[in-house]
């Protein structure tokens, strides 16, 4: 796809579907960490930073196994749990979110009698106010639609099976769990099986309740938290059960929409991965053909910068359904292991700009931001950091507002890459990476292609002859090939790095950080390749070389 084609595709998509440029998912985090005293105006904490931006809708999460953000009468709810003396989530201010993830600080704090929580929703509930209609009105006053989101099989309760997120229904039906699931170190097997009518009806009842109580603009069914609703081996054979469930939600929506005389959207958030869709019984083609949905949001559950959005985009256009790829709240993950990566504010913003650029250039209706308010509010931010993080809301919804901005494209999911002497680059020693950036080719654009290079002993060397391998290789030991051309040494910067843990969560020995700075015109608006070759006959003591953390930075020199 050329840059011109990508831009034209994006413009066509946006003009054909009257939908928001950005949808922001908020799991209510923006109202859980607000210093008291609280009034109705405290609700603006969730919205103030979205005013006059490209955000056209918020997707507000109301329920998972329990209703944790509204006073449900049909399923257990957060407010009743609090009245019973359960603990509430509250990050330790000094340790912050990063500290909690590293085991420092307390995740929970139990309120003392008479103490006012930082949770605005709880405070207003204690004053006899239902905050949801108030929040809807304030969102509408800013021109922002309000979607009520339901997590269809969330598994947070597995971390505390007797805690406030685990309902009595869940605790009493352990035989209905998806025990066949092994993903996430079996974390996802806490989900319940939609084969059972009781499981489905419980979800439908909470959705109907919200539809009847609140004047929402849409209902979102989030099937990415978590992406299983049947035992995986049985799921595809049971796909009509899930389709019929969605048909029931659609029917309820149409009934209420008819009574109110206006449209109410149905939004579904599902995985991109074809295997996951099959193992979850999610028949998207049937949903589109049956005109059951209005908006399709798709996610990899992490930010994959090589993601292509076809054939889903074309299928959605044919069905007059808006298509939104999901930008994930969390950092870039290395798919070979499970870890938390701590990002700086600059890394967060430039990486999300890069992910949005690749999606918009393929013609997506807009972008969906999952859990981004957690980045904003779970840590006390300085005024400057908060402003930088929220600046994305005025940038990442349009290709033209991304032009010239600092973007970083991260390609970690196929790494580390193992190199050995004499193996041609085309045989498992070439990385492919997607850049759909209109800034490429401009004389004002600077491109940096960076990665880490580390050595290890040849695992096949005779133990009697073992020698410690060279840690920092001589120049020329490895040659680099960008889009089929050997990279000249004048484009390369080498920096020796100490042993230790790197951003992607792995621990390396003493190694090198390699940065290639090619002329912008050497990059392709589309798929690029970076090849590696060790042009020598393989000797017994030759180390294996590993490549980690490929990052591509695109920036405009005119902005500096």
* Same domain, yes or no: 395 and 417: no
* Same domain, yes or no: 124 and 156: yes
Q: Are 283 and 209 a contacting pair, CB within 8 Å?
A: no
Task: Please state, as a whole number, how many other Cβ atoms lie within 10 Å of the Cβ of residue 150.
Answer: 21
Local confidence band at 107 (pLDDT 50, 70, 90 cut-offs): very low
Backbone φ and ψ for 373, nearest 5 degrees, come out as -60, -25
CA distance linking residue 75 with residue 83, whole number of Å = 16
* Same domain, yes or no: 386 and 440: no
* Same domain, yes or no: 384 and 414: no
Choose the final residue of a domain: 367, 384, 402. Answer: 402
The CATH number linked to 253 is 3.20.20.80
Q: Are 359 and 326 a contacting pair, CB within 8 Å?
A: no
CA gyration radius for the chain?
25
Average pLDDT over residues 35-62: 97
Tell me, what DSSP letter sits at residue 153?
T
Q: Are 521 and 513 a contacting pair, CB within 8 Å?
A: no
Give the count of domains, the chain: 2
Local confidence band at 95 (pLDDT 50, 70, 90 cut-offs): very low
3-state helix/strand/coil string of 439-470: CCCCCCEEEEEEEEEEEECCCCCCHHHCCCCC
Rounded to two decimals, the pTM is 0.91
Q: Are 121 and 107 a contacting pair, CB within 8 Å?
A: no
CA distance linking residue 177 with residue 174, whole number of Å = 5
Choose the final residue of a domain: 376, 402, 428. Answer: 402
* Same domain, yes or no: 206 and 187: yes
Range of the domain at 63: 3-14+23-402
How confident is the model at residue 503, as a pLDDT?
Answer: 85
User: How big is the CA angle at 489 (ends 486 and 494), to the nearest 5 degrees?
Assistant: 120
Local confidence band at 39 (pLDDT 50, 70, 90 cut-offs): very high
Residue 174 is encoded by which pair of tokens? Answer: 């352990």
What pLDDT digit, counting tens, does each position of 393-406 carry? 999 999 999 999 99
Name the residue among 194, 151, 188, 150 with its Cα closest to residue 173.
194
* Same domain, yes or no: 136 and 214: yes
* Same domain, yes or no: 328 and 415: no
The CATH number linked to 481 is 2.60.120
Q: Of the segments 93-107, 414-428, 484-498, which one has the largest average pLDDT value?
A: 484-498
* Same domain, yes or no: 279 and 337: yes
Choose the final residue of a domain: 363, 380, 402. Answer: 402
What pLDDT digit, counting tens, does each position of 440-487 carry? 988 899 999 999 999 998 888 776 666 777 899 999 999 999 999 999
* Same domain, yes or no: 358 and 334: yes
How confident is the model at residue 334, as a pLDDT?
Answer: 53
């Amino acid at each position: 796809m050329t840059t011109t084609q990508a831009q034209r595709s994006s413009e066509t998509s946006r003009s054909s579907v009257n939908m928001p440029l950005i949808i922001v998912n908020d799991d209510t985090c923006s109202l859980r960490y607000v210093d008291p005293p609280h009034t109705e105006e405290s609700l603006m904490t969730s919205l103030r930073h979205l005013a006059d931006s490209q955000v056209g809708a918020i997707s507000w999460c109301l329920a998972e196994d329990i209703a944790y953000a509204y006073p449900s009468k049909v399923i257990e709810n957060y407010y009743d749990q609090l009245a019973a003396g359960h603990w509430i989530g509250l990050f330790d201010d000094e340790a912050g979110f990063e500290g909690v993830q590293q085991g420092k600080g307390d995740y929970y704090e139990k309120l003392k009698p008479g103490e006012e929580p930082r949770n605005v929703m709880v405070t207003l509930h204690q004053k006899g106010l239902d905050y949801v209609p108030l929040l809807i009105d304030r969102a509408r006053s800013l021109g922002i639609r309000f979607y009520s989101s339901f997590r269809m099989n969330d598994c947070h309760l597995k971390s505390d099976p007797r805690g406030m997120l685990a309902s009595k229904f869940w605790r009493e039906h352990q035989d209905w769990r998806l025990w066949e699931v092994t993903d996430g170190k079996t974390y996802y097997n806490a989900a319940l099986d939609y084969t059972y009518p009781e499981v489905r009806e419980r979800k439908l009842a909470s959705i109907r309740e919200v539809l009847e109580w609140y004047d929402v603009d849409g209902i979102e069914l989030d099937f990415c938290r978590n992406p299983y609703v049947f035992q995986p081996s049985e799921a595809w054979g049971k796909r009509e059960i899930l389709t019929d469930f969605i048909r029931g939600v659609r029917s309820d929506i149409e009934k209420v929409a008819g009574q109110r005389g206006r449209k109410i959207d149905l939004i579904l958030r599902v995985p991109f991965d074809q295997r996951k869709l099959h193992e979850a019984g999610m028949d998207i083609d049937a949903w589109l053909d049956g005109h059951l949905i209005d908006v399709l949001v798709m996610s990899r559950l992490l930010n994959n910068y090589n993601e292509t959005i076809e054939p889903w985009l074309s299928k959605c256009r044919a069905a007059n359904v808006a298509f939104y790829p999901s930008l994930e709240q969390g950092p870039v993950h290395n798919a070979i292991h499970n870890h938390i990566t701590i990002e700086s504010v600059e890394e967060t913003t430039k990486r999300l700009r890069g992910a949005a650029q690749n999606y918009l250039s393929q013609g997506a209706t807009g972008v969906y931001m999952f859990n981004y308010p957690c980045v904003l509010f779970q840590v006390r931010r300085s005024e400057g950091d908060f402003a930088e993080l929220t600046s994305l809301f005025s940038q990442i919804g349009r290709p033209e507002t991304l032009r010239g901005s600092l973007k970083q494209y991260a390609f970690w999911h196929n790494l580390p890459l193992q190199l050995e002497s004499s193996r041609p680059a085309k045989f498992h020693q070439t990385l492919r990476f997607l850049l759909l950036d209109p800034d490429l080719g401009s004389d004002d654009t600077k491109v940096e292609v960076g990665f880490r290079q580390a050595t290890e002993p040849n695992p096949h060397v005779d133990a009697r002859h073992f020698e410690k391998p060279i840690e920092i290789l001589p120049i020329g030991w490895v040659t680099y090939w960008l889009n089929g051309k050997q990279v000249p040494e004048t484009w390369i910067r080498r920096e020796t790095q100490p042993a230790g843990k790197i951003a992607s969560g792995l621990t390396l020995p003493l190694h090198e950080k390699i940065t290639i700075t090619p002329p912008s015109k050497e990059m392709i608006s589309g798929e690029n390749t970076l090849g590696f070759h060790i042009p020598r006959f393989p000797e017994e003591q030759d180390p294996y070389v590993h490549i980690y953390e490929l990052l591509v930075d695109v920036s405009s020199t005119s902005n500096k």
